[in-house]
C-alpha cells in the first residue's frame, strides 16, 4: 500500500492594492473596490490585501519596495495567481519590485502611473523615484499590464508621452479616461470596470454529467 501524499493547500487567487503617496489602506477608493469585489458572486479573488506602506508622506523606494515584496512573497504558485493594483507611486513600487526579479505575477493594473512628474510637482522625494530600473526584468515579471491614465492629471500633464513610455517600457495596454484627474475619489468605477474586464476570474467549463 502506497503512503498517502500530503495534501497541498488549495491555491487562492489574490489581489493586492498598493496605495498612493500620502495614502493609506482606508483612503480613496481602495476599501470601496475591495467591498465591491467581495460582494460579487462568485468573487473574482479569494483574498484581497491592502498593505500599509511606511511613511506615506515621504515614500522611498528603499522602504516601499521591500514592504511590498514582503506582502507579495516569492512562491511561484502564489505569484502566478496574484493581480496587483497600484495607484500613483504605488505603481512605481510594483514595477520596481518586479524589476528585482523573481517569479512573475498574473498581472498589474496601474492607476495614474508615472515615470516622471511635472516640474512644479517635483521634490526631493519624487526624485528618488526617477532613478532607472531594469525595464526588461520588470516587464517579464509583470504579466498582463493595463495602465489607466487621465487627460487632466494634475501631476503628469503630458499623458500622451506618459502613455507611450508605459507601452514601450512595460508593454502596457494604455486606457485614457477623460477628466479622471488623479483618480482619488471615494469610488472610481473605471478602476472596477477595467479590473473585471481584464482580470476577472475565467469562467470554468461546466462539468460533464455522468451518463
Instruction: Quick: pLDDT tens for 133-143.
Output: 999 999 999 99
Q: 141: Cβ–Cβ under 8 A, 6 or more apart, which residues?
A: 98, 99, 101, 102, 103, 104, 105
pLDDT at 102: 95
Q: Domains of the chain (ranges plus CATH)?
A: 14-147+164-175 (3.40.50.1820)
Distance between CA atoms of residues 90 and 110, nearest Å: 8
Q: How many separate helices (H) and strands (E) can be counted in the chain?
A: 8, 6
Average pLDDT over residues 111-118: 96
Give the H/E segment covering residue 66.
helix 61-72
How confident is the prediction for the chain on average, in pLDDT? 92
The cell for 98 is 518586479
130-187 pLDDT tens trace? 999 999 999 999 999 999 999 999 999 999 999 999 999 999 999 999 999 999 999 9
**Would you call 70 exposed, middle or buried from its count of C-beta atoms within 10 A (0-12, 13-18, 19+)?**
exposed
| Res 207: pLDDT | 38
**3-class secondary-structure state, position 201:** coil
Task: Compute the average pLDDT of residues 87-112.
Answer: 98
* Closest residue by Cα to residue 199 from 15, 10, 72: 15
Q: Distance from first CA to last CA of the chain, Å, rounded?
A: 31
pLDDT score of 161: 96
Residue 203: its pLDDT value, please?
Answer: 37
Q: Which whole number is the average pLDDT over 81-95?
A: 98
The tens digit of pLDDT for each residue in 10-57 reads: 579 999 999 999 999 999 999 999 999 999 999 999 999 999 999 999
Query: Which letter, b or e, does each residue of 17-33 get, where b requires 16 or more Cβ atoms within 10 Å of its Cβ?
Result: bbbbbebeeebbbbebb
Q: Are 109 and 143 in contact (CB under 8 A)?
A: no
Which sign does the torsion angle of CA 57, 58, 59, 63 carry?
Answer: negative
Amino acid at each position: 500500500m502506497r503512503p498517502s501524499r500530503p495534501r497541498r493547500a488549495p491555491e487562492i487567487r489574490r489581489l493586492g492594492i498598493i496605495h498612493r503617496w500620502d495614502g493609506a489602506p482606508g483612503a480613496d477608493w481602495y476599501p470601496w473596490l475591495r467591498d465591491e469585489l467581495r460582494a460579487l458572486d462568485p468573487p473574482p479573488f479569494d483574498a484581497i490585501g491592502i498593505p500599509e506602506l511606511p511613511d506615506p508622506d515621504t515614500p522611498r523606494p528603499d522602504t516601499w519596495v521591500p514592504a511590498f515584496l514582503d506582502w507579495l512573497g516569492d512562491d511561484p504558485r502564489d505569484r502566478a495567481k496574484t493581480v496587483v493594483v497600484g495607484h500613483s507611486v504605488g505603481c512605481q513600487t510594483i514595477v520596481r519590485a518586479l524589476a528585482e526579479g523573481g517569479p512573475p505575477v498574473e498581472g498589474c493594473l496601474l492607476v495614474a502611473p508615472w515615470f516622471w512628474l511635472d516640474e512644479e510637482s517635483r521634490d526631493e522625494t519624487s526624485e528618488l523615484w526617477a532613478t532607472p530600473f531594469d525595464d526588461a526584468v520588470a516587464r517579464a515579471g509583470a504579466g498582463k499590464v493595463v495602465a489607466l491614465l487621465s487627460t487632466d492629471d494634475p501631476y503628469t500633464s503630458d499623458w500622451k508621452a506618459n502613455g507611450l513610455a508605459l507601452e514601450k517600457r512595460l508593454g502596457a495596454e494604455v486606457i485614457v479616461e477623460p477628466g479622471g484627474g488623479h483618480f482619488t475619489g471615494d469610488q472610481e468605477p473605471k478602476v472596477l470596470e477595467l479590473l473585471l474586464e481584464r482580470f476577472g476570474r475565467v469562467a470554468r467549463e461546466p462539468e460533464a454529467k455522468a451518463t
